[in-house]
Structure 1
Amino acid sequence: MGKEKGGFLTPKAIANRIKAKGLQKLRWYCQMCQKQCRDENGFKCHMMSESHQRQLLLFAENPDQYIDDFSKEFMDGYLELLRRRFGTKRVHCNIVYQEYIAFREHVHMNATQWESLTEFVKWLGREGKCVVDNTEKGWFIQYIDRDPETIKKQEQIKAKEKMDMDDEERTAVFIQKQIERAAEQGTSAKEAEYTELKRENEEDKVSLSFSGLKPKKKEENSALKSDNPFSSKKPTESEKPKKRESRWEKEEPKKELKKDPFKPPKPGEKRKSALDEIMEFEEKKKEKTNRKDYWLMEGIVVKIVTKKLGEKFHKKKAMVKEVQDLYRAVIETLDSGNKVRVDQNHLETVIPAQGKLVKIVNGAYRGHDAVLEGIDEKKFSCTVSIHSGPLKGRVVDNVQYEDISKLFNQT
């Protein structure tokens, strides 16, 4: 007798069973027959088989019913996995889908009424079965548990919390309701009335202890004794103390005192002249008038800080060619010469080296050209001197970085 070629325990049969257990390609799966083919040739042979043709004839009689059944089966399986696996947690929809299709006998999406997973998730959101939201990482889904048992458990928890309320909380709630009811009826509690303190026995003496104080002169002690309103002895005219000034009489003149312009300055303090004070006042006035929320000016050099324009523009320096609508400008990059229209929020000023020309774009001296004299890195400020105009040579201190910017083609 010859050796048998086939058998249940042959390596080929075992390999075929192992392959059949795993997930195969979707394009070689027949949903009507629920048959998975391993290659294109096998799927082609199945399509030409008599059993498949009979299934197609059944499908042609009522296609809508088959699609609805497949869609319902797919939705139930997807939501059941979402409920059991993740509960009411927010999760990416594709994570749930990958776990669902890992089961070999699942219903494939190409047999349902939805063409993609995105449309299926949107449909779940419209039907109110899940809470869906779209983010940069894709669609996220959250299951809404409407199970009667879950709702019953939630009601039981609320009832238990209500019963656990102690007597103090109930009393506080009752008092609050009484106050609200009294306020509505206009019977609010009367405010406490404060009366003047009156001494029952005016002959009682007041004794004060000055043990912790330093001893004073006899004249002052005599004045204090004579000032006692409860003493029976009346002081003479010579013993009467002088009239004391009230606290308000002492403080009011101090408020009206003004700095003496001729008073010598303190050691190490430079005395300001009247001209300096006038100039300081005018600078504050100009600072308040010329301070704007827009700072773009033509001819200045700026730096692009946004990534929305692409990596080729990020952190590139450019010159402002034209200012539009005060807050937007057309700029031209210094290295490539590309022109782009940007908002001032996507730009920042450029601080040149010391001794270079800058444009003051905001503040009291807005619009003036100046020379950068020094930089204070701790305070993020600069010292500049006006380059031209009637104020030429004037030195301005504590100018913030964002108030000046480098001028183009100035070396």
Structure 2
Amino acid sequence: MGKADFLSPKAIANRIKSKGLQKLRWYCQMCQKQCRDENGFKCHCMSESHQRQLLLASEDPNKFMDYFSDEFKNEFLELLRRRFGTKRVHNNIVYNEYISDREHVHMNSTQWETLTDFTKWLGREGFCKVDETPKGWYVQYIDRDPETIRLQEEQARRKKADLDDEERSAKFINEQVRRGRDGKEIEETPVFTELKRESEEEKIAFNLGASACVAGPSKPSSALGASALKAAAAAAASSSTKRKDAGSDSRSEKKKKSALEEIMEMEARKKKKLDAVRTDYWMQPNIVIKVVTKRLGEKYHKKKGVVMEVRDKYAAVVKMIDSGDKLKLDQNHVETVIPAPGKRVLILNGPYRDVEAVLEGIDEKNFSATLTLETGSQKGKRVDIAYEDFSKLA
């Protein structure tokens, strides 16, 4: 019988079946063959190749099941890590994306019967954080890559150091403000008393030109003569002079800077001075450093060496302590080494650059160490230096 016509329903159905996914019930995982319908799957099961695969699987069934389980687990976690990262996502969404690949490992060939069992197993083994909700199970990938963990710890350390600096600055400013307030004299608060008169016939007269009110018997208008007018004019002139003096004093006080502004300006000048002293390069000869890059392989990773020569400020020739090999490394590929208390170090950056010192103690909370200077004009002084600004002397 000839082939079906190109536009016949059978030919169209065959082309549709050849594309995309087929039913899972007609897939043979051992032979990795997808059949189109039940009849094709039945014929495949009766074939000689399928029988040979079953004989091989019957010799060691656990071996094949473990292999398919590992493949399913690895591909599922890789899709979860690459597609969703560490976000919380529904397990069915990840599974639908996983099975969209025609060549994926089917779950019916693994040790897990359902997706829920597989999700619970991921939670028990520590690969993901899982939680059950009314909408179903959610998974969140746990990234255990050493490089990622190191970057997260570095970011947390820097954030904590910045917060500590801000807290110290705020505490210093509050202390200065408190001292400024304690130094000022307590201003006298005005006392308000009730206005009373001894007799009902007595009248109260207010002198608007003066700063106080005077209670006393009023004089008849005939008694106000030239002397009274002169006195009123003199009082008005004196009050205007006082107001001018008070206005000039208030303007001069406004021009004066507050204690808080002076402290902030002093801190800004101090920070600017320290920034001018610091540089973006710190490599120095005769110091011990540690290799942190993985590009050189495990042979040199986390190994220590001595800087023999500095080139172009940012690179140096390093002699490894263990193997004696000489490498040319950039300062971004190495880090400083903190010795035990009592050992000699070299300050690499800041106002005490190129000064040798002795390590007295380590402050892990503030990521700094206490050093006693041994050279320079300030010999014998104790200073606090950050970890990255000093290193062990060879």
TM-score normalised by the chain length of structure 1? 0.40
Structure of higher CA gyration radius: 1
TM-score normalised by the chain length of structure 2? 0.42
Give the helix-richer structure, 1 or 2.
Answer: 2
